[in-house]
Amino acid sequence: MQPTRRELFSWVAASGITLGLSRLSPAIALPFEASQTLPGRADAPRIGRARIDGIAKVTGAKLYASDFRAADMEGWPTATAHALLVRARDASHVFAGLNLDALPATAQPTKVVGAADVAASALRAPPFYAGDLFCPIGQTPLYLGQPVALLLFTDFDAYDRARIAFREDSALVRFGAETGPRTGPNYAALRFTRIAGPTPEAPDIYSPLQEGWISPGFTEGGGRPIWKPLPTAQGGDYARGATYGEEIRALLAADTPDLLVLKRDFQTQSVDPMFLEPEAGLGWYEEGAGALHLVLGVQSPFEAAEALDYMLAQAPATLRPKRLDLDFASLGGGFGGRDHTPFPLYVGLAALFLPGRPIRLAHDRFQQFQGGVKRHAFDMRSQIGVDRATGRITAFAADHVLDGGGLANYSASVAVVGATAATGIYDIPKVDVTTVAEHTRGVTAGSMRGYGTLQTMTAIETLIDEAATTLKIDPIDLRRRNLLTAGGRTMTGNPWTVSVRTPEILDKLEAHPIWRDRAAKKAAAAPGVRVGTGVACCTKDYGTGADCSLGRVEIGPDGRVTLQADAVEMGNGIGTAIARRVAAILGQSADAVTVARIDMYDALGLVTSGDPYAMTQAEQDAAAKDPRWVPAISSATSASIGAHVSTQAPAQAARIIFRFGLWPAALDLWGIKAGDPREFLAEEAFWQDGFLIMSGLPPLAQTAIAARAHALKGITGAMAHAFSRWAWAQAAFPLGGLDWAADIDALAVRYGDEPFKVIDRSFVFFPPTAYNRIGTAFTSSCGTAVRVEISVPGGAIRIVQAYSVFECGEVLVPELVEGQAQGGFAMGVGYALLESLPPFEDGPGNGQWNLGDYVVARASDVPLHHLQIEVLPPVSPREPPKGMAEVVMIPVVPALLNAIYDATGHRFQSLPVTPAMLRKVIA
Amino acid sequence: MTALSLTINGTPFGPIEVRDDLSMNDFLREVLGMTGTKFGCGAAQCLSCVVIVDDPAGSSATRPTCVMPAVSFNGAHIRTVEGHARAGQLTALQKAFVAHYAFQCGYCTAGFLNEAQVLLERLEAAPIPRAGLEQAILDALDGHLCRCSGYVRYHEAVRDVVLAEPARYLL
Amino acid sequence: MMILLRLPSLIASTGAAALAAGLLMALMAPAPVSNAASEGLAPPASFDSIKDPATRSAALFTELGRVLTSPRCVNCHPVGDRPLQGDSQRLHQPPVYRGADGKGLAALRCSACHQAANYDPARMPGHDPWFLAPREMAFEGRTVAQLCAQIKNPATNGGRSLADLVHHIGDDSLVGWGWAPGPGRTPAPGTQKEAKALAQAWVDTGAACPVD
């Protein structure tokens, strides 16, 4: 790839020298969309069944937000300015402003934007990011890494010098009087208590599903919630639940000889998602047109648009853009860390305050550590009571404290998901879990793969292992005796509504040579080596309880398929998965797939109102009368929803094209007339090598069918919206004389080559709002077995063999599924053994962290050639895809801890377990 | 400022006046707009930014561009991810990366591709026994961080390229 | 030559740390990544009050030992095959190994990253050549007394005479890098010249070793 002509102009502008450059062939900036539309007609034949972005990624094509400069953007000015986001590395002293006089003249910014500028322009932090966009002068920063100023440079060299100067010289950001850290209210405090009825069939005596979720509402002086039920008229709902909770605690505290009670603390560390592409964005405020153009890379494009809109909404008309023109690029990794990130706000501010000039904001790695969203550190105390005679868990209680860092972000949600996962794969009749997410001066914590469950399921899976050892029951047997099976109730009181495969997974683990040969391998350990084996089995929800999918599918008269979807490509291969699911319906793989598109569905005319998580049933019923209303429009690519949710709208759109476009065309080609019984056998036809096969009839070429569909003005395009609240919204649409029911809630179609036209739904059913009390309904499970070798006395640990077995319903793209499991394994290894960020002043907020100190798993840390992945086949050919990209990481961590116990006889109760820690216990 | 001349993927560039402490990574990405070479850590710890430097004596090695001034590449012949495929033909290694689903987000791919290409060329010049292949691949690639893939498929892809032509790479 | 990043406040705070052959590079002082202040070395004359020559010699070595045990020296005199890195002295990232010549495996040579001079914008140290001390010259985990015994022994000091040692410590430019490691690393205490003076005085007083 040659440098583009415009890039060179920008360089000329900077240096005034034009030597030797005229030979370069000029290139023209392409529409941004072209860069994100894959595989593209030229590469489609070469891609075959590989990733649609495969060729782009091995040839260095511009794909990520960090790849784009002004010169790459069609219609933009050519020169790129650069922005530097300066953050606080102190949150205990008053911010006293910048010391720009100490910057050399060659590193001076063109413009400095701070709290005062934002206030003067009435720019607001969106509620999700409540807290100052910039720390005002005279205040103590709310958290380490809080932005204090945005420096704008028209010249790259000045920007580059300033970037390094701010990293090396803490005196450039001045601080005054010591105030100590700022305090803030907790982000959430909740209690989940369930008392099962006397039999599995009997209704629960108390459950969150029945009674609603409860929060204590009272805090002591230090801000901690008061969990005990207080004798007060207020908070009656809380007192009722808490009284049951305290009964469970009393049961566990009673010294009952037939009950084994283990009380254990467990601490998990803060870690960084460490996606490899640091956050970056490009902006241009085109003043004349009043358009703010941004190129962004986030998991949550719709949310980014809404957040920017909110930030700008109250600005004076002279400043407020008339239009937001947002382009969303592929991500160099996400893992949750780019779901609801405030970064786009600062890209927008950079552009807004340097009008007329394209400007780039890009983190370097130090800055990404300093400002990027982190995984919550958990402090957990768990109590488990196991009946010694039966090995049945009779009661479980836990108290979780999360370090939420400086901004609320997803803290409340992570606390809930972590708490409701605390019982893991088990059926426990009495459960009481409290959780509180605290504000601290640490770097903001938010979404990351595993999302609270990684922490709490590590705790339960090591606890169960210890219970097994103590009771001298085989660990797999003990798990089996306590499994929550299909139809049983989770700790929120609802059952899982999908297949539950943990029994098979335990069978697989038990039969695997890693587990079977554990004693022999231990006995055969070489001198100076401790050998240990561990297993764990976990389950992870997929979906958030308010998940959306937007998809648009078109088929041309030549049979070519074009796809657009709102899901984001962050490495998960979502574009490939959508293409695969649609190809099975339309007979040809799309050669033009564009993901992260949230603006292609105007014809649907969607409207929304209210909060899908908080609305009442009456509000939902009233709103649903508007045929354009949906509970939410677009959601983040997160929560393992790729296969299950993100492919849904495109797949349903494709089904409609097939049924009302291709199928009538095929009938026409076959000469089957209306009234022929074969008219309604569409479901029995299938595609093979580009031909539609129907027994007893000649195969039809897909291209011929598509041409005929166009000629007959059948449906050749469809766009759809789908919504899931632990069940799909369902609607019916008048199509082809039928009332066509599907798991979508909005539809527009195109006949022949006409424009898209919305179809009013004739019936709609939205999942009841009471489903919001469900903790988890969609879940998939994974088991892991590992064998480790620990060298004595050094403490170096090596994973010599590993096996992960899991289930995910229909496997859309086996290589993607297996790749997620391999990647999840490595990330689990990092979390268990390597990665750690200290809180506060020595942590990443100080701007001095990079990958030398923060060690993630390398190839040499994983058993490259001894990691076996097994995916259980779906329970039926029609089982839909289930999310699996998170669960594959989780059991890796407790399995390693259990193996370390087996090798050393020591149970570590904090992460990561380092060689230094191992040395101490094997000495 | 120094006048920098170098050859990238066979095309001579320069002389171009560049700031003496401008990194090679910024030269490629900001000055030339060649963003196939990535920026990951800026500290030579992830190696996503490596390019291949071809020695006049015929040997080649990778260099992380984020920790070196552009001017230190004066006179150098380098290869970047953009230059592997010729006339639209992917190399065996590129094809293997694609076919194996070796990468996910792809941000580390340019670095892995360059490193593995150098390994292949080193093996071609000095073949090794089959038994040492996996270790040789590990030695070559272990410096490269990938957060998505767990590395397995990258290593399998490289191994398959070697095993497809054992006479070329192995003793 | 352009010196683009002068940060007077920082330069003042670290004293006149001599730069190695850091041509073309920014002149910058270490970032405050370590609390270990780099205080100067005591001059040999300050030990004159110790009358017993052996005791004085041992005291001189103990002072020199502040240099030898600094991360700048120990990190490239590791016990294992991997160098250490940073003031925290963790294992080097990315993983590199000494290889046959102490300059890395074929797959990742030291010189792939460490060029002729520091590159301060990336905190990348440089010197030509850049290599690990041989395994028998490991400093990692040694007490000052153990180091003294080791350093005097030609079998564990690279076959050096005492005069060679003074020269190595006092004049070797790779050793000298330890006093000009660039930003993000605390320099070895004092200056190379001061260290040489201590080493010479130690030799002149009989090269006695301290006792732990």
What would the DSSP string read from start to end of A375-443?
PPEEEEEEEEEEETTT--EEEEEEEEEEE--SS-TTHHHHHHHHHHTTTTTB--SEEEEEEEEE--SSP
Mean pLDDT of A702-726: 98
Domain-located, residue A505: yes
Q: Length of chain B, please?
A: 171
What would the DSSP string read from start to end of C187-204?
PPSS-HHHHHHHHHHHHH
Is a pLDDT exceeding 80 seen at residue C26? Answer: no
The DSSP symbol for C205 reads T
Contact B149 A330 (CB under 8 A): no
The reply to whether omega before B15 is within 30° of 0 (cis) is: yes
The reply to whether omega before A863 is within 30° of 0 (cis) is: no
* Neighbour tally for A597: CB within 10 Å: 23
Q: What is the CATH number of the domain that holds A288?
A: 3.30.365.10
Are both A715 and A840 inside the same structural domain?
no
Are both A555 and A606 inside the same structural domain?
yes
Query: How far away is chain C from the Cα of A438, in angstroms, using its nearest Cα?
Result: 29
Query: How far away is chain C from the Cα of B89, in angstroms, using its nearest Cα?
Result: 27
- The first and second tokens of residue A607, run together, are 């409207």
Q: What is the pLDDT of residue A46?
A: 85
Determine contact: A853 vs chain C, CB below 8 A: yes
Q: Which residue has the tokens 């420096």?
A: A151
Q: Dump pLDDT digits (tens) for A83-129.
A: 999 999 999 999 999 999 999 999 999 999 999 999 999 999 999 99
Q: What is the pLDDT of residue A305?
A: 93
ipTM for the whole complex: 0.98
Chain C residues close to A160, C-beta within 8 Å: 121
Q: What is the pLDDT of residue A234?
A: 56
What is the rounded CA–CA span in Å between residue A774 and residue A772? 5
Query: Angle between the A343-352 and A301-312 helix axes, to the nearest 10 degrees?
Result: 50
Query: How far away is chain C from the Cα of B95, in angstroms, using its nearest Cα?
Result: 23
Residues of chain B with CATH 1.10.150.120: 92-169
Query: How far away is chain C from the Cα of B65, in angstroms, using its nearest Cα?
Result: 9
Best B22, B26, B30 member to test A by mutation, with max A CBs in 10 Å, is B30
β-partners of residue C85 are C90
What is the rounded CA–CA span in Å between residue C104 and residue C110? 5
Is a pLDDT exceeding 50 seen at residue A857? Answer: yes
Is a pLDDT exceeding 70 seen at residue C18? Answer: no
User: Regarding beta strands A592-594 and A561-565, do their DSSP bridges make them parallel or antiparallel, or are they unpaired?
Assistant: parallel
Q: What is the pLDDT of residue B69?
A: 97
Q: Dump pLDDT digits (tens) for A836-852.
A: 999 999 999 999 999 99
- Taking CA–CA distances from B71, the nearest residue in chain C reads C24
User: Regarding beta strands A746-751 and A715-724, do their DSSP bridges make them parallel or antiparallel, or are they unpaired?
Assistant: antiparallel
Contact C112 B63 (CB under 8 A): yes
Residues of chain B with CATH 3.10.20.30: 2-83
Best C7, C85, C120 member to test A by mutation, with max A CBs in 10 Å, is C7
Q: What is the pLDDT of residue C25?
A: 33
Best A32, A38, A57, A166 member to test B by mutation, with max B CBs in 10 Å, is A57
Contact C94 B44 (CB under 8 A): yes
* Neighbour tally for B5: CB within 10 Å: 15
Phi (first) and psi of residue C192, to 5 degrees: -65, -35
Quickly state the pLDDT bin for A44 (edges 50, 70, 90).
Answer: confident
Are both A536 and A556 inside the same structural domain?
no
- Taking CA–CA distances from B29, the nearest residue in chain A reads A67
Q: What is the pLDDT of residue A236?
A: 66
- The first and second tokens of residue A781, run together, are 């499970």
Mean pLDDT of A392-420: 97
What integer best gives the mean pLDDT of chain A?
93
Contact C107 B63 (CB under 8 A): no
- The first and second tokens of residue A516, run together, are 């079977």
What is the rounded CA–CA span in Å between residue A135 and residue A119? 11
Size of interface A-B (CB pairs under 8 A): 214
Mean pLDDT of A134-149: 98
Mean pLDDT of A317-331: 91
| Sequence-distant (≥ 6) Cβ neighbours of residue A893 within 8 angstroms | A454, A458, A536, A828, A831, A832, A911
Query: How far away is chain A from the Cα of B164, in angstroms, using its nearest Cα?
Result: 19
Q: Are A575 and A53 within 8 A, CB to CB?
A: yes
Half-sphere exposure of A753 (CA within 13 A, CB side): 7
Are both A696 and A799 inside the same structural domain?
no
Contact A17 B11 (CB under 8 A): no
Sheet strand arrangement including A686-688: A686-688, A691-694, A697-701
The DSSP symbol for C19 reads P
What is the rounded CA–CA span in Å between residue A443 and residue A131? 13
User: What percent of chain A has pLDDT above 90?
Assistant: 88
Are both A656 and A597 inside the same structural domain?
yes
The residues in A 50-109 lying below 8 A from C, measured between CB atoms, are 102, 104, 106-107
- Comparing C186 with A17, which gets the higher pLDDT? C186
The residues in A 121-180 lying below 8 A from C, measured between CB atoms, are 160-161, 164-165, 167-171
The DSSP symbol for A674 reads T
What is the rounded CA–CA span in Å between residue B61 and residue B52? 6
Query: How far away is chain B from the Cα of C37, in angstroms, using its nearest Cα?
Result: 24
In total, how many domains does chain A have? 3
Are both A697 and A574 inside the same structural domain?
yes
- Selecting from B62, B67, B140 the residue whose C-beta is nearest the C-beta of C119 gives B67
- Selecting from A55, A59, A822 the residue whose C-beta is nearest the C-beta of B152 gives A822
Domain with A170 in it: 81-176+279-362
β-partners of residue A731 are A742, A764
User: Regarding beta strands A797-807 and A867-872, do their DSSP bridges make them parallel or antiparallel, or are they unpaired?
Assistant: parallel
Are both A751 and A605 inside the same structural domain?
yes
| Sequence-distant (≥ 6) Cβ neighbours of residue C148 within 8 angstroms | C58, C61, C65, C209, C210
Determine contact: C10 vs chain A, CB below 8 A: yes
Chain A residues close to B46, C-beta within 8 Å: 276, 851
Best A59, A72, A73, A159 member to test B by mutation, with max B CBs in 10 Å, is A59
| Sequence-distant (≥ 6) Cβ neighbours of residue A497 within 8 angstroms | A726, A727, A777, A778
Is a pLDDT exceeding 70 seen at residue C34? Answer: no
The residue from A773, A791, A823 where one domain ends is: A773
Is a pLDDT exceeding 50 seen at residue C20? Answer: no
Are both A795 and A750 inside the same structural domain?
no
- Selecting from B12, B17, B81 the residue whose C-beta is nearest the C-beta of A60 gives B81
Is a pLDDT exceeding 50 seen at residue A721? Answer: yes
Are both A788 and A856 inside the same structural domain?
yes
Beta strands in A404-557 (DSSP E): 430-438, 529-541, 547-555
Contact B150 A1 (CB under 8 A): no
- Taking CA–CA distances from B98, the nearest residue in chain A reads A54
Are both A625 and A692 inside the same structural domain?
yes
Quickly state the pLDDT bin for A2 (edges 50, 70, 90).
Answer: very low
Size of interface A-C (CB pairs under 8 A): 52
Query: Which of the residues in chain B have pLDDT under 50?
Result: none
Q: Are C208 and C53 within 8 A, CB to CB?
A: yes
Cα torsion angle, A88, A94, A97, A103, sign:
negative
Q: What is the pLDDT of residue A12?
A: 29
Buried b (16+ CB within 10 A) or exposed e, A29-52: beebeebbbbbbeebbeebeebbb
The domain ranges of chain C are 51-204
- The first and second tokens of residue A251, run together, are 């049961």
What is the rounded CA–CA span in Å between residue A36 and residue A328? 9
Domain-located, residue A593: yes
Query: How far away is chain C from the Cα of A161, in angstroms, using its nearest Cα?
Result: 7
Contact B23 C107 (CB under 8 A): no
- The first and second tokens of residue C64, run together, are 């020199």
> What CATH number should be reported for the domain whose range is B2-83?
3.10.20.30
Residue A444: closest CA among A273, A669, A220: A273
Contact C112 B19 (CB under 8 A): no
Q: What is the pLDDT of residue A43?
A: 86
Is a pLDDT exceeding 50 seen at residue C19? Answer: no
| Sequence-distant (≥ 6) Cβ neighbours of residue A214 within 8 angstroms | A190, A191, A193, A208, A237, A238, A241, A242
Residue C186: closest CA among C75, C77, C112, C102: C75
Query: How far away is chain C from the Cα of B161, in angstroms, using its nearest Cα?
Result: 18
What is the rounded CA–CA span in Å between residue A556 and residue A548? 27
| B92-169 belongs to CATH 3.30.1360.200 | no
Q: Dump pLDDT digits (tens) for A183-203.
A: 999 999 999 999 999 998 999
Chain C residues close to A104, C-beta within 8 Å: 4-7
Beta strands in A268-405 (DSSP E): 280-286, 291-296, 323-328, 359-362, 377-387, 393-403
Domain-located, residue A216: no
The DSSP symbol for A855 reads P
User: What percent of chain A has pLDDT above 70?
Assistant: 96
Contact A102 C8 (CB under 8 A): yes
Is a pLDDT exceeding 60 seen at residue A17? Answer: no
Q: What is the pLDDT of residue A8?
A: 28
Determine contact: B81 vs chain A, CB below 8 A: yes
Q: Dump pLDDT digits (tens) for C44-97.
A: 999 999 999 999 999 999 999 999 999 999 999 999 999 999 999 999 999 999
Q: What is the pLDDT of residue A33?
A: 84
Q: Are B52 and B60 within 8 A, CB to CB?
A: yes
Mean pLDDT of A583-593: 95
Determine contact: B162 vs chain A, CB below 8 A: no
